[in-house]
Structure 1
Amino acid sequence: MATIQTPEEIMTLLERLTGQQIAAVQVLGINSLKTFSPPPEALVGEEVTVVGVLDRTVRIDTTSHVISFDLQRTGRVVPLENAEAYTPAAGANRPTVRLLMADGSGVDLSEPARTKRITVTITSRSA
């Protein structure tokens, strides 16, 4: 069984996203997306301005939105150097969420169990 990442480890993996432009957000866990307006597509082209971690909750602020990922008990952040949109492949583990950046990098939020508990909330920033 994989060890649980500490908030400090998660922050180290996510710091490189600051200043990057979002190319896509794929929410692949059917029950994971907890908001429908704005949709994940609204994040395309947004610049990541701030990244934060509190306990097992990740917050990513963009130019116009805030994305919150609750990793629950076993969620992991997995950096991707050469990321592509997820497509089903034989034997491949499906992440719960894949965040693709314009520079070709990305991040998977994944869980070892079949029951997906990572949640995703997207809100518009107040003007």
Structure 2
Amino acid sequence: MPELPEVEALRAFLDGRLAGQEIAHVLPAAVSVLKTYDPPLSALDGTAVTAVGRHGKFLDVTADGLHLVFHLARAGWVHWRDVLPSGPPRPGKGPLALRVALTGGDGFDLTEAGTTKRLAVYLVHDPAEVPGVARLGPDPLAEHFDRDALAAALAGERRQIKSALRDQAVLAGIGNAYSDEILHAARMSPFKPVANLTDDDLTTLYRALRGTLRDAVARAHGLAAGQLKAEKKSGLRVHGRSGEPCPVCGDTIREVSFSDSSLQYCPRCQTGGKVLADRRLSRLLK
């Protein structure tokens, strides 16, 4: 799933190609993708794109006061086409979900792999009309987001820190991969209760969070959309690297599996050498 660094890179990529261009048509190829019906997509025909913005993991194409907002979910992606195929896209079982065609003949496709379709597109007058945008917490890369803002976002939390970091209502844009990376940089257990964080822990976590995300954004800056997935994977230090040596201490990176996801961590760096129980394996052994 694309997270804040990749979505920010996609925003910059699309903004450089769409700003000032005129939209010819926006055509859905999957019935499930469009979540709003008023105004209709045809309202975008002939409008000029003014900017492409980002709200957490949501992208926002602004055109003449309308906002085409979309969330790529777990398996969605953006594909830029210098020359779009002639004729409208044909609805079917393929990955194509929606096409944005410009009057110059170029544009982009939104695609979604797999059979579980969660990619969502909204056309609204105000991004706050999108429920997922309305509930977002603060953006951790915003200029005003400081250590006290992080403390305020986490205030009253009773969950473990890994769960809190992934909650979009707490912080916008962080998902499974970068929460692993942030906690490794902070040398903090993913299961540490937020309520147990000291003032020093909050300062350490803030520095790890900002540093990890800024570094990832810098690596992705200027890359074409088709290069971002490989860049994300190559830049991760612990997430998705179970069984490999930790790049900091050399210990073996471990994994905890859940029903629909997993987390990775370094025991020596993060848990005082303790290997956390793998929940899925524990259930199998009962």
- Alignment TM-score, normalising by the size of structure 1: 0.83
Residue 64 of structure 1 and its aligned partner are, at CA, apart by 3.0
Query: Is residue 14 from structure 1 mapped to residue 9 from structure 2 by the alignment?
Result: no
Report the AA paired with residue 48 of structure 1. Answer: V
| Amino acid in the other structure paired with 1:10 | L
Cα drift, residue 114 of structure 1: 2.5
Tell me the CA shift for residue 94 of structure 1. 4.2
Aligned residue number for residue 120 of structure 1? 121
- Cα distance in 1 for partners of 2:60, 2:90 equals 27
User: SS at the partner of 2:32?
Assistant: coil
For residues 48-87 of structure 1, the aligned pairs below 5 Å read 48-84=49-85, 85-87=87-89
CA offsets per residue over residues 24-50 of structure 1, 9 Å max, x none? Answer: 101112111111111111100000011
Counterpart of 1:26 in structure 2 is: 27
Aligned CA distance change for structure 1 residues 26 and 9 (closer, same or farther; 3 Å): same
Q: Aligned partners of 2:70 and 2:28: how far apart in 1?
A: 11
SS in structure 1 opposite 2:9?
A: helix
- Runs (4+) of structure 1 exceeding 3 A deviation are 84-89
Deviation at 1:72, TM superposition (A): 1.1
Using the TM superposition, name which of 107-116 and 80-89 deviates more.
Answer: 80-89
Unaligned stretches of 5+ residues in structure 1: none
Q: Give the stretch that moved more between structures: 106-115 or 39-48.
A: 106-115
Q: Number of residues paired by the alignment?
A: 121
% identical aligned pairs: 30
Structure 2, gaps ≥5 residues long: 127-286
Question: Is this contact kept in 2: 1:96–1:109, CA < 8 A?
Answer: yes
The CA RMSD measured in Å over matched residues stands at 2.2
Query: What is the SS of the residue equivalent to 1:82?
Result: coil
Q: Which has the higher contact order (CA 8 A, sep 6+)?
A: 1
3-state SS of paired residue (1:11): helix
Which protein is bigger by CA-based radius of gyration? 2
Deviation by residue 1:73-118 (Cα, 9 ceiling, x = unmatched): 22111000001344349xx944111100011111011111133211
SS in 2 for 1:96: strand
Greater strand fraction, Structure 1 or Structure 2: 1
Whichever residue aligns with residue 98 of structure 1, its letter is R
2:102 alignment partner in structure 1: 101
Alpha-carbon distance in 2 for matches of 1:121, 1:87:
19
Query: Partner of 2:47 in structure 1?
Result: 46
Residue identity opposite 1:12 in structure 2: A
- Give the partner amino acid of 2:30: G
Higher helix residue share: 2
